[in-house]
Structure 1
Amino acid sequence: MTRSGVTCLRSARNEGSSKRRNCEDGSYSACRQANEIDSAVADEGTTRPMGVKAAKAHGKKPMVEGNELYEFQTMWRIKQHDLALKEKLSKMKLLDSLIAKQELLADYEEALKKKLINELLCN
């Protein structure tokens, strides 16, 4: 073959069987960056499954939801105890005001006074 024919074959062979894919500008790094951007856009819609090591580590961690439930139950018990103490304190104030009265008590006030005394002494 002629010298110009060999050159033509060599250039055609280099374009088709290159190990590295070249982008339009010819640099490998620009092509790799373009592929990474395309793959990042494609991966936005899907999530990867958890790996073996990550799954094992996830199984060994304490459950956060259980801890939050325990904290809520503890807080609820404290709140109930606080409400019970406030109710008892209000009953004591009411009884104190009934005892402190100088004039005669009405029948319903006398009944309330006896009821409050019984409740506070029994508990």
Structure 2
Amino acid sequence: MVTEGRCYSHKIKNYYNSSVHSTGFFTRELGQCKQRWGRLNDLVCKFCGCYDLALRGQASGENENDVMKRALDFYFSDQGSKFTLEHAWRELRHDQKWCSLAKPKDLATPKRKTVVGDAEGEEEVTGARPPGIKAAKAAKKKKGVQEESKHTEIKSVLEMKDKLNKQKLLEKLLEKRDPLSEMEESLKLKLIEVE
């Protein structure tokens, strides 16, 4: 069983239940929090697609309100219901997952920049999203195969080096003019047998 402090979902549940907004209401369980996030994530993703479509079709002279109205119309025509999570979309839209790929026509910057603030300062994040789960697993698998091939390559180099060292030792024993000791003689016989 997962302890309360370790699981990210448990931290979210604890945060929600200790929130000022939830005082006076029943506390939510872990499954309820996960279920709510699943619904919210699904609907916000669908609206982001509609918003991107509206943003791509933004005409000259249209402002943010016009784009938003068109996005809400696209959502209604596509889903058959009104988009009721605009507050959640406004919170999430600048996160990497929901960052719009389309740029408004009045922005001249080549990449959208997101500023992430924390207690110590602000950090600027630009560029692409991190890889998804499947891409990360594939890269990890590929990395494992590459590491395995490097391991076998290193192993073969070490074996070759060991073989060369044994050959040099055998040559030194054979070149020696003085009579060999018992230990040197037995080592010489072993090295000859190996080859």
Deviation digits for residues 28-80 of structure 1 (CA, Å, limit 9, x no counterpart):
98xxxxxxxxx9x9549x7758xxxxxxxx68858111110110000000000
- Stretches (4+) displaced over 2 A: 41-44, 46-49, 58-62
List gaps (5 residues or longer) in structure 1.
Answer: 1-27, 30-38, 50-57
Tell me, yes or no, if structure 1 residue 106 matches structure 2 residue 181. yes
Higher strand share: 2
Following superposition, the deviation at residue 119 of structure 1 comes to 1.0
What is the aligned-residue RMSD (CA, Å)?
3.8
Aligned position for 1:119:
194
List gaps (5 residues or longer) in structure 2.
Answer: 1-62, 65-87, 99-131
Aligned residue pairs total 78
The 3-state SS of whatever aligns with 1:63 is helix
Identical aligned residues as a percent: 26
| Aligned pairs (5 A) from 1:48-87 | 48=97, 63-87=138-162
| Aligned pairs (5 A) from 1:2-41 | none
Counterparts of 1:48 and 1:86, CA distance in 2 = 51
Structure with greater Cα Rg: 1
**TM-score relative to the length of structure 2:** 0.33
**TM-score relative to the length of structure 1:** 0.50
